[in-house]
Amino acid sequence: MSTPDIQFLFEPRTVAVIGASHDPNKIGYKIVQNIVANGYTGKVYPVNPKGGEILGLAVAPTIRDIPEEIDVALIVVPAKAVFETVQQCAAHRVKFVLIISSGFSEIGNLEEERKIVAYAREHGMRVLGPNIFGLYSVTPSLNATFGPREIPKGNVAIVTQSGALGVAMIGKAAAEKMGLSAIVSVGNKSDIDETDLLEYLVPHPQTRVILIYIEGVKDGERLVRTLKRASREKPIVVIKAGRSKRGAVAAASHTGALAGAAEVFDAIMRQCGVLCAESIQEAFNWSKFLATSVLPRGEETVIITNGGGIGVIATDACERYSVTLYDDLQILEKIFAPMTPEFGSTKNPIDLTGQATADHYDRALEAARHSESIHSVLALSCETALFDAASFAPMIERNFRAFQQAQKPIVFSALGGEKVEQLTQKLRHQGIPIFPDVTEAVSCLGALYQHYRYRSRPEPAIEPISFEERSLMKVFESARQQGRSFLLAQEAQQLLRLAGIPVPKSAIARTLDDTVRYAQEIGYPVVLKVVSRDILHKSDIGGVALDLDNAQEVMDAYGAILHNCRTHKPEALIDGIEVSQQVPPGVQIIIGARRDPSFGPILMVGLGGIYVEVMKDVSFRALPISRQEAFDMLKELKSYPVLLGVRGEEKRDIETIVDVMVRVGALLQACKNVADIEINPLIVYEHGQGGMAVDARVLLVQGGQEP
Ligand code: COA
């Protein structure tokens, strides 16, 4: 069955409210009231078996009685009556049903919810909700919510998984004079999710910023693909709940969704160019700012201030939010000396000193605006005896407009008493980005730059890596025959070899003679390891011998290993002895690829040993990744300097690590029957000397398919 175009959800020509009530205290009444009061440009049909009139509109006893096709039907009847209502909607060829009613998966009633969605989809309908407060869409002026009647029109679209928070956000948007282009409550996300909504909101001309409150991700792979493209078009701000362990439990019980692990979520959102806000206030600040600000043309920012202290705080915040401060002292002096007193400073921050008047700011801002070297400005002021609201307010307004025209972002911050607060409030309501707290101002500029950088970056070039499919399949053959959910060490090694990942030379010997012969062929020193599916921890029982330098040592070790196994694990079936090249020591790296329950295939990298075990110093990305992204993952590690060489050591072979990361990722994607691949460790040598995957663990998907 084909699915309706998402445009009909946001721009329906006809809307039915099923469960429209005559009682003004009921949700079914409020929704009709909001639709009517907001001047919806389409036609609205209340539906209620009692018939009659609601707010002057004739009430249809059933949807069948409506004389035309319905694009959107809002369902506001008790949960137990929803399925039947959905059936009636399907019979009337409704395109979208919005189920306001609660009482489904959020309270464990998953079966009913699934039944409804399955029926709807079979009949070509899509479902928003259940458990939602509705939808607002500016284009047809449709307020189909039971939230506030007045929704300020504007350019920010909000998508929210929490209903109560969504209603509160409408109120907050109004209070902050942040206009909305849409607000959609996704509730239990039984069918329509954030990704579907982005299909409309990303190209929607009136939407400049999309703000998403998200608790759990269901189809992360699809979301990632969409977000990567969407963030190149417009800023996407996300507030993710459920970051802390307690928060995750609350979020899961709240919507029945599984919250993704915080680190994975944050890393993947960054990869997609999404701006992750720490709080609702931060998300609002960013959204409002980004909806009005122009994009910068370069990275260089200048702070203009009348107070040293606030300049220092702003400088620290710039470092934290990755805002680059322009530091060509000669040019800065040339630009700002004419309006800076001798006891001030033309080094960035430009300190106009406590005696600065609105006129000084005017001159400094004009100079910054005309300079080709400066791309954005933070204008800060602390209240002094010279502060005069009557001259500061027009100065700020004038400069804001002039900067917009000059395509240069500007953010203001003013700190002081009542008069300053009144001034900031008034200007904020006019849409001018001015904050009492300088850190908030810097964080907005930081968000803008994060978006700007993502847009300016070329799209990652994902190299196709192909594998010989038949050889890959052979590796899994005996695991499949034996019903194993993992590969044996030598199988895992063979898999890596086929993927072009360097592994130590090795062979499996079944006799003493073979063991010695293989050792000679491989070259000393060698390592011997027992091969047995019954012995998992080989070293613990003396099943491993290292540093064997000649044939005699190999023969002795062979005997010792078999003796140890017989003593400690007499019942173990021994398949042979693995003889492998003993690799010299180097920096240890761990590389893992697995299928995340929320995001699908993801890659992880970290330095081995204490770095990963104690410091949890790892980075993540959703697959596939480019070489540049793999390199960025390494640079994100706190322990990255170790790879660059510390205390006179040579730089490590970073290209080899990147290459193995890309190959492990491609391998996981190629082998649909693999759940998890982990190389631990990849021993990495000096630059140009390569590396070696010494140990690998490969887990298979239970009941999985062939690669
Ligand atoms: N077709 C059409 N109308 C129907 C109907 C049907 N099959 N079944 C009932 N109705 C009518 C009722 O007659 C009533 O109208 P009336 O007041 O004129 O008699 C109206 O629909 C509402 O039914 P009622 O039984 O009174 O329920 P309610 O209004 O108390 O509650 C819900 C209905 C959907 C609001 C409620 O069940 C619910 O789920 N509330 C939670 C909503 C929520 O919080 N959502 C998430 C927000 S984030």
Mean pLDDT of 588-597: 91
**Ligand 1 mean position to 26 CA, how many Å?**
8
C-beta of 50 in contact with ligand 1 (< 6 A): yes
> Which of 15, 146, 131, 127 has its CA nearest to residue 72?
15
Mean pLDDT of 352-379: 96
Q: Which amino acid is at 646?
A: V
Q: Which of 41-50, 381-390, 627-636 has the lowest mean pLDDT?
A: 381-390
Residues 287 and 269: their CA atoms lie apart, in Å, by: 17
**Ligand 1 mean position to 27 CA, how many Å?**
7
Mean pLDDT of 684-691: 95
Residues 468 and 465: their CA atoms lie apart, in Å, by: 10
**Ligand 1 mean position to 78 CA, how many Å?**
5
* Six token digits for residue 661: 């990361």
C-beta of 190 in contact with ligand 1 (< 6 A): no
CA–centroid distance for 522 within its chain: 47
Burial letters for 201-220: b for 16+ Cβ neighbours within 10 Å, e otherwise? Answer: bbebebbbbbbbbbbbbbbb
**Ligand 1 mean position to 19 CA, how many Å?**
5
Tell me the sheet residues that pair with 380. 413
**Ligand 1 mean position to 82 CA, how many Å?**
10
Residues 567 and 564: their CA atoms lie apart, in Å, by: 5
205, pLDDT greater than 90? yes
* Burial class of residue 92 in the structure, from the number of CB atoms within 10 Å of its CB (0-12 exposed, 13-18 middle, 19+ buried): middle
**Residue 325 to residues 98, 356, 451: CA-CA distances in angstroms?**
49, 22, 18
C-beta of 21 in contact with ligand 1 (< 6 A): yes
pLDDT at 316: 97
469, pLDDT greater than 90? no
| pLDDT level of residue 248 (50, 70, 90 thresholds) | low
Strand duo 53-54 + 57-58: pairing:
antiparallel
pLDDT at 254: 39
Please identify, by atom number, the ligand 1 atom nearest to the C-alpha of residue 146: 47
| pLDDT level of residue 616 (50, 70, 90 thresholds) | confident
Q: What is the mean pLDDT of the chain?
A: 93
Name the residue at shortest CA distance from atom 23 of ligand 1: 77
C-beta of 87 in contact with ligand 1 (< 6 A): no
Please identify, by atom number, the ligand 1 atom nearest to the C-alpha of residue 129: 46
**Ligand 1 mean position to 532 CA, how many Å?**
65
554, pLDDT greater than 80? yes
Contact 555, 518 (CB under 8 A): no
Q: Which amino acid is at 506?
A: S
**CATH 3.40.50.261 location in the chain:** 294-456
Which of 22, 76, 99, 159, when mutated, tests ligand 1's pocket best, judged by the most ligand atoms within 8 Å of its CB?
76
Please identify, by atom number, the ligand 1 atom nearest to the C-alpha of residue 131: 46
pLDDT tens figures, 62-117: 999 999 999 999 999 999 999 999 999 999 999 999 999 999 999 999 999 999 99
Q: Which amino acid is at 200?
A: Y
Mean pLDDT of 344-357: 94
Q: Which of 5-9, 616-620, 665-669 has the lowest mean pLDDT?
A: 616-620
**Ligand 1 mean position to 61 CA, how many Å?**
14
Q: Give the number of C-alpha atoms closer than 13 A to the C-alpha of residue 434, restricted to the C-beta side.
A: 27
* Six token digits for residue 526: 């060698």
* Burial class of residue 111 in the structure, from the number of CB atoms within 10 Å of its CB (0-12 exposed, 13-18 middle, 19+ buried): exposed
Give the helix ranges, DSSP H, for 293-340. 308-320, 329-336
| 294-456: CATH superfamily | Succinyl-CoA synthetase domains (3.40.50.261)
C-beta of 147 in contact with ligand 1 (< 6 A): no
C-beta of 81 in contact with ligand 1 (< 6 A): yes
**CATH 3.30.470.20 location in the chain:** 587-700
252, pLDDT greater than 50? no
Mean pLDDT of 586-608: 91
pLDDT tens figures, 135-154: 999 999 999 999 999 999 99
**CATH 3.30.1490.20 location in the chain:** 505-581
Mean pLDDT of 473-483: 91
pTM: 0.90
pLDDT at 311: 95
**Fold assignment, 505-581:** Dna Ligase; domain 1 (3.30.1490)
C-beta of 332 in contact with ligand 1 (< 6 A): no
Contact 266, 239 (CB under 8 A): no
Cβ-Cβ contacts under 8 Å for 527 (sequence gap 6 or more)? 544, 545, 546, 547, 548, 579, 580, 581, 582
Kind and range of the H or E run holding 403: helix 389-405
| pLDDT level of residue 247 (50, 70, 90 thresholds) | low
pLDDT at 705: 45
* Six token digits for residue 249: 């439990």
* Six token digits for residue 24: 């003004």
Mean pLDDT of 277-305: 96
427, pLDDT greater than 90? yes
213, pLDDT greater than 70? yes
Residues 429 and 85: their CA atoms lie apart, in Å, by: 44
Q: Which residue has the tokens 């269901």?
A: 218
pLDDT at 245: 57
Mean pLDDT of 512-538: 91
Strand duo 301-305 + 376-382: pairing:
parallel
* Six token digits for residue 39: 């001047």
pLDDT tens figures, 482-514: 888 999 888 999 999 999 999 999 999 999 999
706, pLDDT greater than 50? no
The torsion angle over the Cα atoms of residues 148, 151, 152 and 154, rounded to 10 degrees, is 140
**Residue 17 to residues 27, 88, 271, 455: CA-CA distances in angstroms?**
11, 13, 41, 42
Which of 45, 77, 116, when mutated, tests ligand 1's pocket best, judged by the most ligand atoms within 8 Å of its CB?
77
Higher pLDDT pick, 641 / 254? 641
| pLDDT level of residue 244 (50, 70, 90 thresholds) | low
State in words which class domain 587-700 has: alpha beta
